[in-house]
Amino acid sequence: MSTSPQSASSPSADDSVRVAEAVSRLRSAGERVTPARYAVLRVVDAADLADEHLTAEQIGARVAHVEPSVHRATVYRTLTSLVATGVLSHVHLGGSSTVYHLTEPAPSHDPSHGPEDALATREVRAGHDGHRARPAHHAHVQCHVCGRVLDVAPGLFDDVAARLHEDLGFVLDTGHAGLLGTCRDCARGGIAHT
């Protein structure tokens, strides 16, 4: 990450719009924006833009690189508080890993657009600063053979969610835990988990 240790504790012209929006949401909620929070937001944003799924340990290591004064325990507390405020989301993957993403504010609903437009907005949001952005709300699937994590549109699970709700009254949260299976490459290679 190109952020120098000196600039990691305050706003920077290099901050993405996503980081600036997250900081604005924190301030609107009356939360302090500390050097640790800036560093974590920048690290998670860079990972999201690179299509990476970082664990708390990986985020801690990257924060230590850009903001050496931030202790690893502070990173863990910061992750917890940013999830609690809704600025970050976390997803539980296989092997007891938890990965983090920046959340985006829910898009405002424009009544002039039909429901299919709202679905398209939810599934694929263009990056504000020219980068490919991850869907604002997305689900995860993970190959239990090679460990690869793939982002999928949550609408993919609509039929399953409807059936669970109809049969059991259960409301499925597709964004909170990843589903395990075998990816295409491992399946083609004849490597399947039994």
pLDDT per residue as tens digits for the range 101-160: 898 765 544 444 333 333 332 223 333 333 334 445 677 788 888 878 887 887 888 888
33 has pLDDT over 90 = yes
3-state helix, strand, coil in the chain (%, to 5): 45, 15, 45
Domains 7-102 and 135-194 share a fold: no
Query: How much is the pTM?
Result: 0.68
**CA torsion, ordered 120, 89, 13, 10, to nearest 10 deg:** 160
pLDDT (tens digit, 9 = 90+) per residue, 86-101? 999 888 887 768 889 8
Check pLDDT > 70 for residue 164. Answer: yes
Q: What is the CATH number of domain 7-102?
A: 1.10.10.10
CB 101, CB 43: distance < 8 Å: no
Quickly tell me which residue has 């600025």 as its tokens. Answer: 87
pLDDT tens-place string over residues 59-85: 999 999 999 999 999 999 999 999 999
Contact 151, 135 (CB under 8 A): yes
Say what the pLDDT of residue 61 is.
97
> Residue 6: is its pLDDT beyond 70?
no
Domain ranges (residues) in the chain: 7-102, 135-194
Q: What is the pLDDT of residue 110?
A: 43
Higher pLDDT among residues 137 and 173, named by residue: 173
* Eight-state DSSP code of residue 151: E
pLDDT at 192: 59
Residue 37 Cα distances to 15, 88, 131, angstroms = 13, 11, 22
Shortest CA distance to 26 belongs to which of 71, 87, 90? 87
Give how far Cα 12 sits from Cα of 5, 155, 181, Å: 12, 36, 41
Lowest mean pLDDT of 20-24, 28-32, 58-62, 127-131, name the range: 127-131
> CA–CA separation, 181 vs 145, rounded Å?
8
Q: What is the second-level CATH architecture of the domain 135-194?
A: 2-Layer Sandwich (3.30)
Average pLDDT for 2-30: 73
Question: Residue 51's pLDDT is what?
Answer: 84
Does the pLDDT at position 20 exceed 80?
yes
Residue 89: helix, strand or coil by DSSP?
strand
